[in-house]
Structure 1
């Protein structure tokens, strides 16, 4: 685990956006295409704003979420809605959005094959940005979730539905093999509580601290 501490959040967001852009650019130059997987929530919003203005070959970048709540984009809780508002703007508007939600489908299980097929051509993930909750979940891999053991298994499919106490709506999430397979992995956290949770996670089993699945190869970006 490589931990970078920043003097303030603004500096962290600027530095992280530059790092992600550099890694995407490197993959694009090598292979002609790249994939970027990002978290929802409000914390990465400033990174998205900065990244959206970067001059990259966005037409050859596939963008998809780490996870999504099973709600439509008309809901304020939609991660896809946030992605469109903050990242898929300016120059990054040319990127290809790979959905993790299917309109008109009542539950994620009914769209699993379609969503898996959409993700598959863009694996391994070129650049992965994750968040982490104070409960040490990442993506929608929550401690105690109904299909956590399946999602952590080496043979897990690319995406799985997930339900957990405290998660609210049913979720769809990338699974452990997909997250571990990323070429470049970053975790963005803020505040003393998440720093303490991260340190606890390093000494706990994966089912208690799912973020641990990526800690060995991740760069952690933290500011108070």
Structure 2
């Protein structure tokens, strides 16, 4: 794990956006296409605001979320809605969105088709993750119903996940997909999350799911 500390959040968001843009550019030049996976929630919004203006061949970039709540885009809880508003705009509007939601009653009803679409863009070129104070990442929550399976090396790329802390049913990338990413960044803010991350580094992924990726991650932290 590489740990990068920044004097403030504004500087961190700018530098992380620049790093991601550089890594996507390298991948596009060498492979002709790239994939980017990002978290939902409010924390990465400033990264998206900068990244969407990067001069990249966005038409050959596939963008997918780490996870999604099983709600449609009309809901303020939709991560896809945030992605469209903050990242898939400006130059980045030319990117391809790989959905993690479909108009179906439950995640299981759409899992096969969504998994096929995700698999076409693996391994992920650049992976940006967040982390909760409970040490979850994506929708890999401690105590979640399918966590043990999602952590296995032979887990499918996508799984439905339910946990008390999650609220709605979720769909999430699984640990093998996260660990196969070519470049991994974890974005956290505040003293509580720094303490949680330091604790997670001493725990098992079953106890602290973020631990499944820390050995290959660059962690970016600001107060």
Same fold (TM over 0.5): yes
Deviation at 1:166, TM superposition (A): 1.4
Alignment deviations for residues 99-125 of structure 1 (CA, whole Å, 9 cap, x no partner): 00002x000001110000000110000
TM-score by length of 1: 0.99
Q: Does 1:109 align with 2:108?
A: yes
Partner of 1:42: 42
Q: CA deviation at 1:72?
A: 0.2
Q: Which residue of 1 aligns with 2:177?
A: 178
| CA positional deviation for 1:182 | 0.2
Other-structure match for 2:2 = 2
Q: Secondary structure at the match of 1:211?
A: helix
State the secondary structure of the residue aligned to 2:163: coil
What stretches of structure 1 move > 6 A for 4+ residues in a row?
A: none
Cα distance between partner residues in 2 of 1:162 and 1:55: 36
Deviations 1:95-154 (A, max 9, x none): 000000002x00000111000000011000000000000000000000000000000000
In 1, Cα distance between equivalents of 2:178 and 2:191: 25
How many Å separate the matches in 1 of 2:58 and 2:190? 32
Give distance in 2, aligned partners of 1:13 and 1:142.
25
What is the CA-CA distance between 1:41 and the residue it aligns to?
Answer: 0.2
| Unpaired segments ≥5 residues, structure 2 | none
Kindly indicate whether residue 60 of structure 2 is the aligned counterpart of residue 68 of structure 1.
no
Please, what is the CA RMSD of the aligned residues? Answer: 0.3
